[in-house]
């Protein structure tokens, strides 16, 4: 597959030297970037909701007229360094999850003297909580549909090395408003999207969290004990939501937070009185399994998605990320060597704090901690998260990621391959990678500069390097503009 290089010499956006005021801003900023004025690009509309730290409003992009949701966090409310770090981690996690269809997409961020603003995908269907509050209890068929959608979210998060730690109906949005012709109808619960990753954390297999976080009604007992916990807390919270969908009331209730916590620690929800006699045995079994006190005995997200009760209601799902993962890795394998090399250069310049999610994914697969992944480790890891990919498909994935063909996937190879899975390339990263190639700073990459970079990265002998260069279809000038470079990486 050739890469077509035009004679277009459009110059890349340059990174001007920062002014003294910008330097001051970068030092003071929470996200570590120059300040930008939100209202230069967006018109802020009506308020959608507010919490302890943030106000969310509709906003409209001035250049396109497209609607987004703007979450604004006043800096005066972020008193401690821990609160600032939680916000920074929230942004990093949302960037890591970019492209996951069950997660609200973060488009961009703005920061000024007073606030940090997150511009996100707008979901016009509103909160699941509002629908549950208005409806009360649901039929088993609709409840199964909702919990299936929630567990797709949980599966995707856990696959990507993230635990939400604050799953509740308020943190799920319906992507679209349910309409049939001109008449309102049942909401479409098949495409719920998760929001609010302010309390989320990366999963580190073998390492347990100690932070007491979450919302009283939905928090798992191991969080309250502070004895360490893992991603199983999300299964507990989803089990609480399922109980509420079937009954219209929470399983653990109290007049204040202390009473709720006592009920959670007791972990003895009523499953005998109305409406439980009219609820199916398989529904009860699933609720009981998800609300098991011992986290090790709770089902995984994949187990829930394949549970018999979901089968009974026609919404059981083979794991939602399998097909996408396989297709993306096949696409990565189909890239020519130069495209892969460009991704490797980009992976090298991404700051460590932006690689945390990918690092968590790598360590969750590298079970013997020898800093390389064997095909056997990859297969066991995918089975552990409930993947149904077969041996031949896993072989395709392993061979795609193994750039040097030594039978092992090292950390850099994994990061490069998973970058393609995420499909997110920041402008600043693309520009820095292009500038690394462009050694004479003339805003174009020549064949000699390509050869120099390939030699620097030890991409093989002279014949191999010439083969890589020959894959690139060049025109008369034989050079790559910034625009061509970006098209090649994103293709």
Catalytic residues: 166
Asked if 485 contacts 15 with a C-beta cutoff of 8 angstroms, the reply is: no
| CA atoms of 299 and 385, how far apart (whole Å) | 11
Sheet architecture: strand order including 67-74: 42-50, 55-61, 67-74, 115-121, 106-111
Write out the H or E segment, with its range, that includes residue 88: helix 81-96
Q: Which residue has the tokens 């401690």?
A: 80
Could you tell me which residues come within 8 angstroms of residue 392 by beta carbon, excluding any fewer than 6 positions away? none
Asked if 194 contacts 172 with a C-beta cutoff of 8 angstroms, the reply is: yes
SS (H, E, C) 283-305: HHHHHHHHCCCCHHHCCCHHHHH
The count of residues in the chain is 491
Measuring CA to CA, which residue among 83, 73, 55 is closest to residue 211? Answer: 83
Measuring CA to CA, which residue among 135, 137, 192 is closest to residue 168? Answer: 192
Asked if 364 contacts 382 with a C-beta cutoff of 8 angstroms, the reply is: no
Q: Could you list the residues known to form a binding site, using ranges.
A: 71
Work out whether strand 179-180 and strand 106-111 pair parallel, antiparallel, or are unpaired. unpaired
Could you tell me which residues come within 8 angstroms of residue 399 by beta carbon, excluding any fewer than 6 positions away? 333
| CA atoms of 97 and 265, how far apart (whole Å) | 32
CB burial of residue 161 (10 Å; 0-12, 13-18, 19+) = buried
Q: Could you list the residues known to form a binding site for ATP, using ranges.
A: 71
Tokens of 433: 């990678």
């Amino acid at each position: 597959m050739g890469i077509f290089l035009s004679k277009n010499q459009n110059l890349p956006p340059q990174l001007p030297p920062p002014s003294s005021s910008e330097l001051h801003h970068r030092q003071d900023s929470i996200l570590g970037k120059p300040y930008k004025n939100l209202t230069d690009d967006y018109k802020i509309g009506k308020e959608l909701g507010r919490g302890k730290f943030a106000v969310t409003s509709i906003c409209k992009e001035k250049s396109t007229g497209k609607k987004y949701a703007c979450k604004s966090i006043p800096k005066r409310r972020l008193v401690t360094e821990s609160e600032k770090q939680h916000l920074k981690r929230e942004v990093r996690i949302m960037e890591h999850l970019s492209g996951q269809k069950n997660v609200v997409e973060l488009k961009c961020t703005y920061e000024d003297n007073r606030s940090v603003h997150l511009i996100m995908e707008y979901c016009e269907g509103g909160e699941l909580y509002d629908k549950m509050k208005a409806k009360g209890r649901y039929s088993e068929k609709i409840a199964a549909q909702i919990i299936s959608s929630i567990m797709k979210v949980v599966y995707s998060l856990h696959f990507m090395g993230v635990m939400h730690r604050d799953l509740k109906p308020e943190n799920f949005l319906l992507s679209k408003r349910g309409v049939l012709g001109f008449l309102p109808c049942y909401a479409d619960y098949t495409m719920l999207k998760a929001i609010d990753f302010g309390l989320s954390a990366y999963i580190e297999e073998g390492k347990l969290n100690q932070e007491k976080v979450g919302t009283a009604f939905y928090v798992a007992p191991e969080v309250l004990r502070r004895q360490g916990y893992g991603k199983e807390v999300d299964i507990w919270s989803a089990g609480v939501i399922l109980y509420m969908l079937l009954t219209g009331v929470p399983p653990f209730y109290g007049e204040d937070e202390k009473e709720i916590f006592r009920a959670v620690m007791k972990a003895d929800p009523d499953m005998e009185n109305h409406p439980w006699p009219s609820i199916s045995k398989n529904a009860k079994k699933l609720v009981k399994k998800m609300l098991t006190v011992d986290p090790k005995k709770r089902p995984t997200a994949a187990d829930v998605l394949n549970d018999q009760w979901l089968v009974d209601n026609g919404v059981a799902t083979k794991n939602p990320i399998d097909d996408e993962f396989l297709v993306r890795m096949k696409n990565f394998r189909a890239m020519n060597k130069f495209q892969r090399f460009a991704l490797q250069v980009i992976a090298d310049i991404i700051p460590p704090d932006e690689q945390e999610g990918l690092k968590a994914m790598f360590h969750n697969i590298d079970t013997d901690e020898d800093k390389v992944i064997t095909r056997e480790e990859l297969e066991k890891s995918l089975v552990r998260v409930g993947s149904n990919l077969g041996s031949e498909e896993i072989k395709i994935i392993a061979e795609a990621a193994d750039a040097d063909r030594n039978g092992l996937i090292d950390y850099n190879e994994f990061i490069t391959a998973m970058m393609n899975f995420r499909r997110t390339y920041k402008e600043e990263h693309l520009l820095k990678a292009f500038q690394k190639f462009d050694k004479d700073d003339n805003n174009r990459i020549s064949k000699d500069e390509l050869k120099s970079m390939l030699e620097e990265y030890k991409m093989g002998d002279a014949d191999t390097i010439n083969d890589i260069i020959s894959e690139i279809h060049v025109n008369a000038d034989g050079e790559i503009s910034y625009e061509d470079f970006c098209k090649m990486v994103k293709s």
